Amino acid sequence: DVKVTQSSRYLVKRTGEKVFLECVQDMDHENMFWYRQDPGLGLRLIYFSYDVKMKEKGDIPEGYSVSREKKERFSLILESASTNQTSMYLCASLPAEFTDTQYFGPGTRLTVL
């Protein structure tokens, strides 16, 4: 079974703090994704990566950056957290060929005070 893990299930941070969300997958997938999930809005793509050190902006990249130094790890960074970044953050991974589903992690619920 593919396993996607996220470093924290719950996180509380203060406005202006730098926040790191970590995601690790164990299936050697080339593609990894970061989404945020908000009620009524579904999942919105923040960034994705199709290879080590490669990244592409998704639909809502403002206020976020990412890092992929190793194939199995994809980090989401909030340089200066704001209250409107309070959300559930989901990581996903996908093999190179889009003939399969994305595999999702358990999510990190981030609250910014």
Binding site for another protein (CB under 8 A): 31, 33, 35, 39-45, 48, 50, 58-59, 90, 94, 98-99, 101-102, 104-107
Q: Specify the residue, 47 or 81, whose C-beta has the smaller distance to another protein.
A: 47
Measured distance CA(70)–CA(24) in Å, rounded = 10
Q: How far is the CB of 67 from another protein (least distance, A)?
A: 19
Q: Specify the residue, 58 or 63, whose C-beta has the smaller distance to another protein.
A: 58
Measured distance CA(104)–CA(54) in Å, rounded = 20
Residue identified by tokens 């990249």 is 61
Q: Specify the residue, 78 or 91, whose C-beta has the smaller distance to another protein.
A: 91
Token pair recorded at residue 95: 């093999």
Q: How far is the CB of 15 from another protein (least distance, A)?
A: 27
Q: Specify the residue, 29 or 81, whose C-beta has the smaller distance to another protein.
A: 29
Nearest Cα to 31, choosing from 56, 48, 7, 6? 48
Rg from Cα positions in the chain: 13
Measured distance CA(14)–CA(12) in Å, rounded = 7
Q: How far is the CB of 35 from another protein (least distance, A)?
A: 8
